[in-house]
Amino acid sequence: MAIKTYRVGKVLIEASQIFSLDNATLNITMGVGETTSIGDDWRQLVALGKQATLNLTCSYNPNDGQQSSLRTECLTGDGALSAVQMWEDASHYFAASAMLVTTCNITKAVGAVDKINFTLEAIGAISYT
Amino acid sequence: MADSERSQIVDGIISALAAVSSLHVSETLVHWEEVPKQYYPISAFVTDHDENWDAFALFGGDAHDDVKSTLFFTVTCYCYRSDNDGRELRRLRTDLIRDVNAALEGGTTLMSLVLDMRPMRIVSDRGIVKNYSIFDMEFEADYLYAHATGG
């Protein structure tokens, strides 16, 4: 079946898989500039730069190597990652050669497992294989 | 092959209850009249029964915990007083409830096997059985396992 589910796919942070991942969302957006003139019926837009943002939510496991490396990068490092890949199945993936860890959120709540959430912003282009 | 995680958890429950002073613990549930009197004044029987499964993480790796299971188990408790003294039976009952909860919630070995353990409710005989106080203590325990290896 061509439709994919959570049963396939993974995220690699600098070539190693991040575990306990319960949500990975890749947003690819393009900035636009507006050139609409006063009196135009329809907006006029021109394409600006593209941007990719990867949002990851994991059940927090301080012993997971990739979770801890992202957390450490956010806290004490320069935030830069050399390679991030989001695999949609066993053979197709989006790849960024460089990303920045821009947010790290840790949540603790009654009746739920602890969660850690990261936002990664691509530096430059991402590719699809 | 190593014991399943479910089996290890039940072993952990029984070990934790075995530490309760004067408590006879067994997995062989019988009628309260069939329990030999030397196993009284308090006896407990552990039964693991229903289980719910949910996906816990993306299944991208085969060897990591990606399924969360909720195991339901019951500790069936019998208290006995030959004189049918209601006040003493109540003391046995309330002490046993406290001690079972403390043993299961405070057992470090058991808690290392599970993600969470929750006492859910007590279902009792409401005092209608002469000489006995009979009640079920129902619990839920969450644990994780890898889908590729099973629980």
Best of B56, B58, B66, B117 to disrupt the A interface (most A CBs within 10 Å) is: B58
A24, B55: Cβ pair inside 8 Å? no
Average of per-residue pLDDT across A115-120: 97
pLDDT of residue B61: 78
pLDDT of residue B60: 83
Q: Establish if A44 belongs to a structural domain.
A: no
Read off the pLDDT band of A102 (50, 70, 90).
Answer: very high
Q: Is B54 on the interface with A (CB under 8 A)?
A: no
Read off the pLDDT band of A101 (50, 70, 90).
Answer: very high
Cβ-contact A85, A93 below 8 angstroms: yes
What is the domain count for chain A?
1
B58, A58: Cβ pair inside 8 Å? no
The residue segments making up the domain with residue A119 are 10-30+49-128
* ipTM at complex level: 0.79
Q: Establish if A54 belongs to a structural domain.
A: yes
Q: Establish if A94 belongs to a structural domain.
A: yes
Chain A residue with minimum CA distance to B56: A22
Q: Establish if A82 belongs to a structural domain.
A: yes
Among the four given CATH numbers 1.10.3720.10, 3.30.2000.10, 3.20.20.140, 3.50.50.60, the one describing domain B5-145: 3.30.2000.10
Taking 50 as the pLDDT cut, the residues of chain B under it are none
Q: Establish if A4 belongs to a structural domain.
A: no
Cβ neighbours around B145 below 10 Å, total: 19
B115, A113: Cβ pair inside 8 Å? yes
pLDDT of residue B108: 86
DSSP chain B: -PPPHHHHHHHHHHHHHHTSTTEEEESS---GGGS-GGG-SEEEEEEEEEEEEEE-S-TT-SSS--EEEEEEEEEEEEEE-TT--HHHHHHHHHHHHHHHHHHHHH-HHHHHH-SEEEEEEEEE-TT-STTEEEEEEEEEEEEEE-TTT--
The reported pTM is 0.85
pLDDT digits (tens, 9 = 90+) for A32-56: 999 999 999 999 999 999 999 999 9
Q: What is the CATH number of the domain that holds A92?
A: 2.30.110.20
Query: Which residues in A lie closer than 8 A to residue B56 (C-beta atoms)?
Result: 20, 22, 59
Q: Is B122 on the interface with A (CB under 8 A)?
A: no
